[in-house]
Structure 1
Amino acid sequence: MNSWSGSGRRPRIMASSLSLPQNTITDILSRLPVKSLTRFKSVSKNWADLTSAPAFIAAHLRRSSTDPSLLIRRYHSQSGWDYGIWLITNPTLSYATQLLRITLEESLPLFPKIVGSVDGLVCLDISPCYASDFAMWNPGTKQIKRLPLPLITSSRDNPIWMVFHGFGFDSFNNDYKLVRIVSFRGNDASPFLRVEVYSLREAVWKEIEERFELALLCGGQDGVVVDGSLNWAAIGLQGFADRKVVISFDMGREVFKTIPLPPVTRYGNVKVVSYMGLLAVAVYPLVFAANGNNMNRFEFWVQGDCEDGMKRWSNMVVVENFSKSLVPVGTWGDRELVFKHVGVRDRENQSSLFLFDPVDHTTKRLPVDFVDICFQGFSYVESLVSVS
C-alpha cells in the first residue's frame, strides 16, 4: 500500500515485514564470517544480543572449525626484522593470503611472537625477552587485551636461563590457559624449574607445585595442544638418559607426565605435532651431529590406543634419503604436515612451503615464498570468542 507523506514528495512504501523462525535466523547467522557478524551487530539489538550469546558463539565456532586456516609469523631474525603475520586460507584450494595487523596502544620493542592459536584466540608474547609480557588477540573481531604480568621474574641473584610456554583450551574447566615454564641455572650448573599458569576465565596467574624432574625441554618449540594437554619435546635424564621424550601437561588436572618416544628419535630432530586429535612426532635429519650418527630419512610416528588400553607409537611414514633442507613445522587442519624449505634459493623453483598428506603421500605447494626466512606456523579458525 502506498501513502503520500506530503505534496510533491515521493511515496513511502509501507510493506509488511516477513519474519523467520528464531532457530532459522540463528542457523543462517552461524554460517557467516566474523566480519559480517560484527557489522550486523548494529542492525538490531536482538541480533547484537544473539551473536554475543555463549551458545551462538559455540555454534559458530563448531562450523568454522571445519575450515581452518594457517597462521604464519615470518621474520629474518630474533630482532624481528622484516616481520609479518600472514593468514593463508583454503576455501577453494586457491590458498588466498592476507597480511594481518596488530594494533596495541603502546609501541612494542619487538614484533610479537605467537605462543599458540586456539578457537580463534591467538596468544602473543610481546616481551623483549624471557616471555614476560603477553597479550590475547582475536584477529577476526580485532579485539586485543594485554594480560597481567607473570609472577615469576628474573633477578640478579636468580637469573632466568630459558622460558618455555604453551597456550590451550581446558575443556574440563571451560577455560583457556597459558602455561609458562621458567628454567633457572642452579649453583651447580644444573637447571631448576618453576611453573605458572594463567587462567583467562579467572584473569590471574598462579604458580603450581607440580614438577617434572626427568627431562630438559628442547629450545625453539612451543607447547602443542593434543586432547586437553600441552606437549613439548624434551631430552631425557636419569632413567630416560640419552633419549628424547615428550613432557605433557594436563590442563584440566594441572599435572605433568613424561612420555617416552620411539628409539629412532635419538639421532634426529623431533617436532611434536597434533595429528587427527592424536599425539604425533615428526623425526627428521639433524643439521649437524658431532658424533657422526646422522640420519638421512624422515619418519612420522603417531601414538594411538591399543586393544589392551595402552597407548603405543605406530610408524606411518618413512622417507629414505630425506633432504636436510626440509623441515616440518606443524600440521594444517590436524591432517596435513606443513614443511618449509631452507637453504640456497633456487631461482627457478622458489617453493619453500608445502603440504604433505601422510596417508596418500601427496604434496601441495603453498603460494608463499619464505626462502631463507624463519617462521612459526599454527592452525587458525575464525571465532567470536572474546579475549576477556
Structure 2
Amino acid sequence: MASSLSMLQDTVSDILSRLPVKSLTRFKSVSKKWADLTSTPAFISSHLRRASPDPCLLVRSYHTQTGNQSALWLYPEPTRHQGCFLLDVPSEEPLLRFPKIVASVDGLVCLDVSPCYASDFIFWNPATRQFKRLPFPLIASSKSNPIWIVFIGFGFDSFSSDYKLVRIVSLKTIDPFPSIRVEVFSWKQWAWKEIEESFDLTVLCGAAEGVAAGGTLNWLAMGLQELANQKFIVSFDMGTEVFKRIALPPITQYGNVKIMSYMGSWAIAVYPLPNGPGINCFEFWVLGEGNDGSKNWTKMVFMDNFINVLVPVTTWRDTELVFKRMGAKDGNSYQSFVLFDPVGEVSKRLTPDGVDMCLEPWSYEESLVSVYGKS
C-alpha cells in the first residue's frame, strides 16, 4: 500500500511539473498537499527543467530623446509575432526612478531601482507576482570615499544552488586609477558580504551589467600600463567567488566588443558603431575547450561589409544572436529586433519594435523560484 501511494504521489508530481505557473498557482488554493508539494525545492527545480525551450522576451522601453514613457513588456511568443502584455512595476512604495533590469535568471528578475550608484534592488518573479526589496549594500558613497562608477551582475551559482548579485564599486582616488571594492549578495543567505579582490593591470569598461555564462559573470576590461591597448574579459566565478582575467582573441583593434553567452560558454561579438568610424565587419568568437583541456577562441561567424545599423544585444535560447536594428521610419527613429542563427546563418524578425522608443531585451522563462531565498 505504501509503495502504491508513493508511486501515485510521484505520478502526480510528474504531471504537475509539466503545467504552467498560472495553473499551479490556482491549484495551491485548492489543495494544501499540492501547495506543499509545488513549494519544495525539488519540485521547483523539476518544473524549471521542463520549462518551454522557447523563452519569453522581457523588454524595457523608454522614449529615446526624453527617457520618459518607461514601461516593461512581456512577449510570450516573440518569434510567432503574437501579442504582448504590459507589466506592473512591483513596489510597496513610490520609486524614485523606473527600474532597470540587471538580469533575468530562471524566472527571477533582478531590478535596479536606485537613482544612482546601483544601490537599491528588487527581486521579482512576474509569473508568481512575488517581489522583495533587498537590504541596502554595504558599500556606500561618502565624502571621504566617493563612488565613481558601479558594475553589477546577477546569476546562478549551481554549486550552492544560490542566486548571487555582484556589485563592483570603483571609488575615486588621488591615484591615476580608481580603488576597487566588491560585495556579493546571496539569495540563499539573504545578506551582503564584502570580498577581497583587486583587478591587476585592468579597469572595467563598457556595459555596467555583467553577462552570465557557464557559472560566471563577465565584464569587458581594458589593460593598463604594460597591458595598455589590450582588451580582456574579467570573469567572476560564482562558485569560488574569485575573479580571473581572460585574454580576447586577435580581434580587429577598432571594433566594439560585446560579451555574450553561447551554448553555456563565453562568446564575444565584434562590430562597428552605428554611423561611426572604424571597422565595417562583424565577428563572432566562441571560447571552447580543446582536446588537451585548454581553452581556445574560435571565430564562428565573419561578415564583411556589415550593416552598421545592426547592434548585437544578447543571445536567444543561448544558441541564436539577437540584433537590434536602428533606423528611421516616417522621419522618426525606429528600433526592431532580428534573430540570427550563426550555424544555419538564417535570420528572422522578432515581434518588438518601436518608433522613437529605445528597447532593451531580456530572455525570460516562467518559474516557481521564490524571491525570498531558502533561509
TM-score (ref. length: structure 2): 0.92
Q: 2:354 aligns with which of 349, 354, 370?
A: 370
* Alignment CA distance shift 1:287-1:366 (3 Å): closer
Q: 2:270 aligns with which of 262, 283, 286?
A: 283
Residue 358 in structure 1 maps to residue 342 in structure 2: yes
- Cα distance in 2 between the residues matched to 1:265 and 1:205: 39
Structure 2 residue matching 1:309: 3-state secondary structure: coil
* Alignment CA distance shift 1:216-1:288 (3 Å): farther
Residue 89 of structure 1 and its aligned partner are, at CA, apart by 2.3
The amino acid across from 2:255 in the alignment is: G
* Alignment CA distance shift 1:79-1:62 (3 Å): farther
The amino acid across from 2:307 in the alignment is: S
Larger Rg: 1
Residue 267 of structure 1 and its aligned partner are, at CA, apart by 1.0
Q: 1:215 aligns with which of 178, 202, 223?
A: 202
- Cα distance in 2 between the residues matched to 1:271 and 1:346: 30
- Cα distance in 1 between the residues matched to 2:102 and 2:234: 17
Residue 239 of structure 1 and its aligned partner are, at CA, apart by 4.1
Residue 175 in structure 1 maps to residue 162 in structure 2: yes
| Native 8 Å contact 2:108 2:123 kept in 1 | yes
Match of 1:247 in 2: 234
| Native 8 Å contact 2:60 2:361 kept in 1 | yes
The amino acid across from 1:297 in the alignment is: C
* Alignment CA distance shift 1:49-1:183 (3 Å): same
Residue 313 in structure 1 maps to residue 318 in structure 2: no
- Cα distance in 2 between the residues matched to 1:357 and 1:348: 29
Q: Deviations 1:247-284 (Å, cap 9, x if unpaired)?
A: 10001111100111122152111111111111101110
Match of 2:3 in 1: none
| Native 8 Å contact 2:96 2:114 kept in 1 | yes
Match of 1:232 in 2: 219
Match of 1:159 in 2: 146
| Native 8 Å contact 2:204 2:219 kept in 1 | yes
| Native 8 Å contact 1:352 1:371 kept in 2 | no
The amino acid across from 1:376 in the alignment is: E
- Cα distance in 1 between the residues matched to 2:208 and 2:350: 23
Q: 2:114 aligns with which of 123, 127, 133?
A: 127
* Alignment CA distance shift 1:372-1:282 (3 Å): farther
Match of 1:90 in 2: 77
Identity between Structure 1 and Structure 2 (%): 60
Q: Deviations 1:301-331 (Å, cap 9, x if unpaired)?
A: 0000011211111011111111221111001
The amino acid across from 1:46 in the alignment is: K
Residue 92 of structure 1 and its aligned partner are, at CA, apart by 7.6
The 5-angstrom pairing of residues 50-65 of structure 1 reads: 50-64=37-51
Q: 1:336 aligns with which of 298, 302, 320?
A: 320
| Native 8 Å contact 1:235 1:243 kept in 2 | yes
| Native 8 Å contact 1:355 1:366 kept in 2 | yes
- Cα distance in 2 between the residues matched to 1:182 and 1:130: 8
Q: How many residues align?
A: 367
Match of 2:366 in 1: 382
User: Moved runs in structure 1, 4+ residues, more than 4 A?
Assistant: 77-80, 346-351
Residue 365 of structure 1 and its aligned partner are, at CA, apart by 0.7
Q: 1:273 aligns with which of 239, 260, 269?
A: 260
| Native 8 Å contact 2:334 2:357 kept in 1 | no
The amino acid across from 1:387 in the alignment is: V
Residue 43 of structure 1 and its aligned partner are, at CA, apart by 0.9
- Cα distance in 2 between the residues matched to 1:303 and 1:280: 6
Unaligned runs of 5+ in 2: 1-6
Match of 1:117 in 2: 104
Match of 1:188 in 2: 175
Moved more, 278-287 or 212-221: 212-221
Q: 1:22 aligns with which of 9, 15, 25?
A: 9
Unaligned runs of 5+ in 1: 1-19
RMSD: 2.2
The amino acid across from 1:130 in the alignment is: Y
The 5-angstrom pairing of residues 1-16 of structure 1 reads: none
Q: Deviations 1:45-75 (Å, cap 9, x if unpaired)?
A: 1111111111111110001163322222122
The amino acid across from 1:195 in the alignment is: V
Q: Deviations 1:122-144 (Å, cap 9, x if unpaired)?
A: 01101000001001000110000
Match of 1:264 in 2: 251
- Cα distance in 1 between the residues matched to 2:63 and 2:210: 22
| Native 8 Å contact 1:79 1:110 kept in 2 | no
Q: Deviations 1:145-201 (Å, cap 9, x if unpaired)?
A: 000000001012221111000000111111110000011121134212110000111
Q: Deviations 1:92-143 (Å, cap 9, x if unpaired)?
A: 8344422221221101111100111111100110100000100100011000
- Cα distance in 1 between the residues matched to 2:48 and 2:33: 20
Match of 1:99 in 2: 86
The amino acid across from 2:128 in the alignment is: T
* Alignment CA distance shift 1:235-1:188 (3 Å): same
Structure 1 residue matching 2:84: 3-state secondary structure: strand
- Cα distance in 2 between the residues matched to 1:255 and 1:346: 51
| Native 8 Å contact 2:163 2:187 kept in 1 | yes
- Cα distance in 2 between the residues matched to 1:206 and 1:284: 37
Moved more, 93-102 or 170-179: 93-102
